[in-house]
Amino acid sequence: MSYKIAFLPGDGVGPEVAAAARAISVAAAEKFDIPLEFHDYDFGGIAIDKDGDPFPPETKKACMAADAVFLGAVGGPKWDGGGLRPEAGLLELRKTLGLYANLRPLRIVPGMEEMSPLKSDRAQNVDMLMVRELTGGIYFGKREEGTEFASDECAYSREEVIRVARIAFEAAKGRRGKVTSVDKANVLATSRLWRSVVNELHAAEFSGIELEHVLVDAMAMKLIQAPAAFDVVLTENMFGDILSDEASVITGSIGLAPSASLGDRKAGLYEPIHGSAPDIAGHDKANPVGAILSAAMMFRHSFDAGAPASAIENAIETALSEGFGTRDVGRSDTCSAFSDHVAALLSR
């Protein structure tokens, strides 16, 4: 039996960073003797151009049958003019696969504090896991589109909060034992439900974990002021989208940040947190680290293979500490040169 990966390169820098992640996955799979099969499918803007649908039926069928889905990125100015949007395909993919928990680890590579835009002492020891709710909230509420009036409803049910909060508390057990739940309970009804359900679950099942609640505006500030204070950060869909971009840059660049989107099945979706970066696409300049570390998460979460995951993570750390890296982290490698170097380190 081999693990089947539905491979969706997507748009912009998506194909560039996804190719790097695929090459590193193949190298790690060979080294640890794990049989993998990659199968390519159209997704996003390129699928709109070819098939008139950002998430065509053939792609959907393959994603539902796969052991894991790997995505580069989608979107770009070409599809911003109205009509079908690549991003709608991504939301449908997450919803179709029931991937309600988006895990975004954000960690400064020890010794690499110089990559951070923060002063080195503040960047030191940053190591957090953002757990972002991914299939509810304002992204999926009732929507009214219009030129005179428009609305986006934000809704959450108790069950939607419980299942993602449980993932955050469980993750904290294997880390430093602290969860920061972020909401806007001073204004929003959904946030008041969020906070009370998180408190209930904490009291019932996770009282050994330290829990704090922080309002989202203050969180935006605290992330800059003292990012090392956070362990697991639990939040709803849109707050998590925004705060994870902010936190990623504290570790050096958005190009470094991976993600895993998980539900109740073993199969997950793996993608870097960044977008299609149209400003650098096509120039072999993109940082592939977020995509490569997403592949490591795929081995760990969907294939129960911790050894190749750790080997990939170690190779990335070694490459960065030896001075390799792309321009966004102040180094001079191309995307493909950096990826080749990581592959060479892996097969050592």
- Say which entry of ligand IPM, ligand NAD, Mn ion, none residue 277 contacts (CB below 5 to 8 A, set by partner kind): ligand NAD
Of 61, 217, 266, 279, the active-site residue reads 217
245 is catalytic: yes
Find the shortest distance in angstroms from Cβ 60 to ligand NAD: 17
Find the shortest distance in angstroms from Cβ 308 to ligand NAD: 22
Find the shortest distance in angstroms from Cβ 243 to ligand IPM: 11
What is the distance between the alpha carbons of residues 247 and 254, in angstroms, rounded to a whole number? Answer: 8
Q: Which residues bind ligand IPM (CB under 6 A)?
A: 75, 87, 90-91, 241, 273
User: How long, in residues, is the chain?
Assistant: 348
Q: Which residue is nearest to ligand IPM (CB)?
A: 87
Side-chain half-sphere exposure of 336, counting CA atoms within 13 A: 6
Q: Which residues bind ligand NAD (CB under 6 A)?
A: 13, 17, 73-76, 87, 90, 253-255, 271, 274-280, 286-287, 328
Find the shortest distance in angstroms from Cβ 241 to Mn ion: 4
Residue 241, interface with Mn ion (CB under 5 A)?
yes
**How many C-beta atoms surround the C-beta of residue 284 within 10 A?**
15
304 is catalytic: no
Of 139, 183, 285, 333, the active-site residue reads 139
Kind of pairing, strands 232-235 and 68-73? unpaired
Kind of pairing, strands 127-133 and 101-107? antiparallel
* CB of 223 closer than 8 Å to CB of 243: yes
Of 241, 270, 285, 328, the active-site residue reads 241
Residue 133, interface with Mn ion (CB under 5 A)?
no
Amino acid at site 284? D
Q: Which is nearer to ligand NAD, 11 or 67 (CB)?
A: 11
Distance set, CA 228 to CA 128, 193, 268 (Å): 8, 28, 28
Would you call 12 helix, strand, or coil by DSSP?
Answer: coil
Would you call 33 helix, strand, or coil by DSSP?
Answer: coil
CA dihedral (72, 305, 236, 215) positive or negative: negative
241 is catalytic: yes
Instruction: Report, as residue numbers or ranges, the catalytic residues.
Output: 139, 184, 217, 241, 245
Residues lying near Mn ion in the complex (CB under 5 A): 241
